[in-house]
Structure 1
Amino acid sequence: MQIDLWKRVLIWAVIAFGIVFAAPNLFYSRVESHNDAVTAIERQGATPEREEQAASWPSFLPSGIVNLGLDLRGGAHLLAEVQVEDVYETRLESFWPEIRDVLRPMRDTVGTIRLQPSDPSELRVKISQPDGMQSALDAVRDLASPVASLSGAGSTDIEVAGVADEIVVTLSEAERIATDERTLQQALEIIRRRIDEVGTREPTIQRQGSDRILIQVPGIGSAAELKEIIGTTAQLTFQAVVGRANSADSQVDPGQEVLPSLDQEDVYYIVEQTAVVTGDELVDAQPSFDQNGRPAVNFRFDATGARKFGDYTAQNIGEPFAIVLDDEVISAPVIQSHIPGGSGIITGNFTIEESTNLAVLLRAGALPAGLTFLEERTIGPELGQDSIDAGKLAAAVAGVLVLAYMALSYGLFGIFANIALIVNIALLFAILSTIGATLTLPGIAGIVLTVGMAVDANVLIFERIREELKTAKGPARAIELGYEKALSAITDANITTLITAIILFAMGSGPVRGFAITLGFGIITSVFTAIFVTRLLITMWFERKRPKTVIV
């Protein structure tokens, strides 16, 4: 019946942690409004309304809360298929400048070189002297690189063949597989960054199968709103301007394309298809204002992009170039001077909101391929509220029945166990809030199960104390032996359940993992409260009352 002072201090400290860090969940709406306002101030600056919302919760108190999942809060659900074939065409187009540069010194052998219209799955280059075909094939094959993947070890990225007077370049099968994998991973990361930029809470973004992505975002208004966030490609390129066209259907040479102006009707530009610099080399984009006070976007390239941008502007002073966003020319300024450093500004007829959104999309990056939405659902907040109410009712009924049973069965000791149970729930919510976990309906089921399991350890201890009291030992010795002899059974039972929770978390996904998280942490907190909190309460009572007999 002796507990060292440092142990008592530590137990009370843990209890205080649970109460303090779980408390924000009792003021959920206020704390959530405070957190959203603080995030908005950090990203977009302060406004009187945001400052007022930020002041609704004291800054010196913890503000972590348990995030509500899609089934509790409502939101949007999308299943998207990534059009990986789009990347093949872009990948092949990028070889044309290299092929052109490697064949130009061989004109005496191969003659003139022309890019030919072809299927998106291949690149065709025509030479005027078929006798030099073998030399041309050897030169182009030297451009091949090893496939950057374990599955493609020993393979090259392109296959080169000669058909009459044309060189035909295709991607190898190993390169297609590696490209598919890179495309899916890049799409996942970009979608995650775009959704994080708009401040949504705990989205679920995961791969399904070989070319599909599941996206679930709680708290968003509709599936259409979510599609608008992630469906915008935001592909920024800088392309050389060849001239102007009369219409979108104007005929152009191979390797060129006609693009419309974003803010000028009936204005079309003929540009080189191969970009000088792409948005992939963009490292930052921020909303700003131009010299006339109009909304604009400042951008900055990485080292590679800055070098290419600087070299191009140095070699093409006096020539126009197009800033292209999503196949529309934002502007086509004339290069006035060399632009070193890799930074610049995008101007246009933007509003402040449009320039801010454009900067967000550019920072998030361009989707590597198009998305086809196979399934979309909007889960309304009414359904979410029904789920919350059902979960609250289940938890309340379970809690009341357990509390009543313990108090009726074990008297004062049962009340101590009930206090420990309340501390247990506070600790569980404190942990979930601290790690930013998402609570779903299966997660609530895990909490309800934890409530039932939390008193199991106390039942084992109290029954053991009853048995020890029957052997005519004193109450202090009986309590001590009750805790000692029940410890092994408590440990074994909870370790096996914890192992099950770990396996569920590792092997499961979505709702299963939500259940495993609350169950796993619930086991840890229930063991702590049953063994240490109830013992501390009983010890403090015993030291004060010094009873001759104990009724359990």
Structure 2
Amino acid sequence: MKKNLQWKLALIVAVIGLCLFLIYPPKDKIKLGLDLKGGTHLVLQVLTEDAINVETDQQLSRFEEVFKKNSITYLEANKEKPGRFYFRGIPVDQEGKVRDLIEQYTRDWDYSFSGDRLVFSLKPVAAQYLRDLAVTQTLETIRNRVDQFGVAEPIIQRQGSDRIVVELPGIEDPDRVKNLIKVTAVLEFKLVKAGPAPDEETLLREFGGKVPDDAEVVKSDPKRGVQGYYLVSKVATVTGKDLRTVRRGVDEWNNPAVHFTLNPDGAKRFEQVTGQNIGKQLAIILDGRLQSAPVIEARISDSGIIQGRFTPEEADDLVVILKAGALPAGIKYLEERTVGPSLGSDSIRQGLISGLVAIFAVMLFMIFYYRLAGLNAIIALILNEIIIFGAMGYFKATLTLPGIAGIILGIGMAVDANVLIFERIKEEIAVGKNISSSIATGFSRAFSAIFDSNLTTIISAVFLFQFGTGPIKGYAVTLICSLVANLFTAVFVSRFIFDAFVPTTAKRLSI
């Protein structure tokens, strides 16, 4: 063999060997997408206005505390809407002091005086920042919950300004995962002032029919065996943010429960409140629903238990969401699509059949039309497919039905490249050039057309990958891999086969 062919052979063997290594074992290296493996596809919308609402409540409470600390008097403080609140009845002689305090404590809120009324409005830049932050935090919280749930190879990504796409392959209980994702998971421990009562009217009877300023009404969760309405403190003793560890365990009746410990700051507050309120009830509230209201029998410092007639799965899910943290805003399901495992198996079978039919049809055509030169194209085509799957194994790409379509399109473009080369070679032979010169000229003149067509298609596929989601990305990945492999096999490998097996003195070429 010629020396200039030896390094080409070594390169081809090295590339193919590396790709086979990257593919094996295919079950572990090639991940199947939702449409092939089965599972759940969800599109969620983050209710970013909730984050603005929470920020407004916190800022209002903060300035109430600041004004009280600095002896600023007022008649009323209230929220008009998310991103806007006011104070009414501030004396004119305290206006200068109020301005100084506002400049000291916040830069994200605009404010204006109108008579004795002070109005705060969240700046548009700050509002947009909070909305973006809410989506980002929601994305990370959902990812943490899904990871702790144990879903293999989930796809969780942002789509647009306020949407999140979640793909969970191989899920057997989609409703459980949906509940796990959607629950806000705001955990609060609050002292009970009254209750339980069958309705809100009965509950508030001893308070003149009105909710006290320092309290709020919560409804029990009927699934937990607790019935009725409770009046609880507005301010929580501790919240989910104070948790240090959470684990599933059992209560004194050997029923599933959730055990927790608190961080030092939360433990200090918990110990103080429970020590001062022995004999009273402490409400355990999750997402605005009372789970249980045990009686405080002794001072509790840094640990406790959440009871509520949980099933083992419900207790596990509560542990997961409390560990992952609360969502910063509510979410709404916009789209849900579930693919069963049997449908996924059918898709795999149909995809393989369509791919194999395409390959064999192309092989038969190439051999029939181009004879032995067609065998050259078939070898290049087989190596092309090996390189494609090797690249997918290296990049840990997911194979989907659109991805299979991308591979089949790549087969067509690979054959098209060989057709261009072979037709150029036939043209050179037809004008009287010798076989060796015709092969060299054919490859040389066809290369620019092959390179341009592949490059322009790769550029289009890059845009599909950049701006597409889910299946579109899968299609783009396999198409890019196919086109890059095509440049190597159709030009480099095919030329090597001609140079290695067609003598320079050949008078005829089977093409």
Q: Shorter chain as normaliser: what TM range? A: 0.7 to 0.9
What's 1:88 paired with?
52
Aligned AA (1:454): A
Please list, as runs of the form range in 1=range in 2, the aligned pairs for 1:291-302 lying within 5 A after superposition: 297=258
> 1:348-379 deviations in whole A, cap 9, x for unaligned?
35454333222222233322222333444445
Please list, as runs of the form range in 1=range in 2, the aligned pairs for 1:457-496 lying within 5 A after superposition: 457-466=417-426, 479=439, 482-484=442-444, 486-496=446-456
> In the aligned structure 2, how far is the partner of 1:280 from the partner of 1:95?
19
What's 1:438 paired with?
398
Cα distance, 1:404 vs structure 2: 0.9
The equivalent position to 1:253 in structure 2, one of 190, 194, 212, is 212
Asked whether the 8 Å contact 1:245–1:268 carries over to 2, the reply is yes
Cα distance, 1:288 vs structure 2: 5.6
| CA distance 1:80–1:351, change in 2 (3 Å) | closer
| CA distance 1:106–1:398, change in 2 (3 Å) | closer
Which ranges in structure 2 are unaligned for 5 or more consecutive residues? 205-210
> 1:245-278 deviations in whole A, cap 9, x for unaligned?
3336334422422445665624866544344554
What's 1:206 paired with?
158
> Cα RMSD over matched residues?
4.3
| CA distance 1:329–1:230, change in 2 (3 Å) | same
| CA distance 1:459–1:131, change in 2 (3 Å) | closer
Q: Select between 393-402 and 137-146 the one with higher mean Cα deviation.
A: 137-146
Asked whether the 8 Å contact 1:83–1:369 carries over to 2, the reply is yes
> In the aligned structure 2, how far is the partner of 1:364 from the partner of 1:546?
73
> 1:201-245 deviations in whole A, cap 9, x for unaligned?
44364334x5444545454468745532322222223x4526443
What's 2:129 paired with?
178
Asked whether the 8 Å contact 1:261–1:269 carries over to 2, the reply is yes
Asked whether the 8 Å contact 1:316–1:335 carries over to 2, the reply is no
| CA distance 1:105–1:145, change in 2 (3 Å) | closer
1:405 aligns with 2:362: no
What's 1:234 paired with?
185
> In the aligned structure 2, how far is the partner of 1:235 from the partner of 1:309?
15
Q: SS in structure 2 opposite 1:180?
A: helix
Structure 1 length-normalised TM:
0.72
Which ranges in structure 1 are unaligned for 5 or more consecutive residues? 26-30, 32-62, 147-155
Asked whether the 8 Å contact 1:75–1:216 carries over to 2, the reply is yes
What's 1:551 paired with?
510
Cα distance, 1:421 vs structure 2: 0.9
Asked whether the 8 Å contact 1:83–1:372 carries over to 2, the reply is yes
Asked whether the 8 Å contact 1:144–1:158 carries over to 2, the reply is no
What's 1:68 paired with?
33
What's 2:102 paired with?
141
What's 2:266 paired with?
309
| CA distance 1:114–1:243, change in 2 (3 Å) | farther
Asked whether the 8 Å contact 1:259–1:329 carries over to 2, the reply is no
Please list, as runs of the form range in 1=range in 2, the aligned pairs for 1:93-492 lying within 5 A after superposition: 93-107=57-71, 110=73, 123=85, 134=95, 137-138=98-99, 141-142=102-103, 144-146=105-107, 156-157=108-109, 159=111, 171-198=122-149, 199=151, 201-203=153-155, 205-208=157-160, 210-220=161-171, 224=175, 227-237=178-188, 239-241=189-191, 243-247=193-197, 249=200, 250-251=203-204, 252-259=211-218, 263=224, 265-266=226-227, 270-275=231-236, 278-279=239-240, 285-287=246-248, 297=258, 306=263, 308-313=265-270, 316=273, 318-319=275-276, 323-327=284-288, 328-329=290-291, 336=299, 339=302, 344=303, 346-348=305-307, 349-379=309-339, 387-388=347-348, 390-466=350-426, 479=439, 482-484=442-444, 486-492=446-452
> In the aligned structure 2, how far is the partner of 1:299 from the partner of 1:546?
85
What's 1:8 paired with?
9
> 1:69-127 deviations in whole A, cap 9, x for unaligned?
44x555444444433333333223323543343233444x638x886697677556677
| CA distance 1:445–1:300, change in 2 (3 Å) | farther
**Residues paired across the two proteins, number:** 491
Question: Percent identity among equivalent residues?
Answer: 33
What's 1:150 paired with?
none
Structure 2 length-normalised TM:
0.77
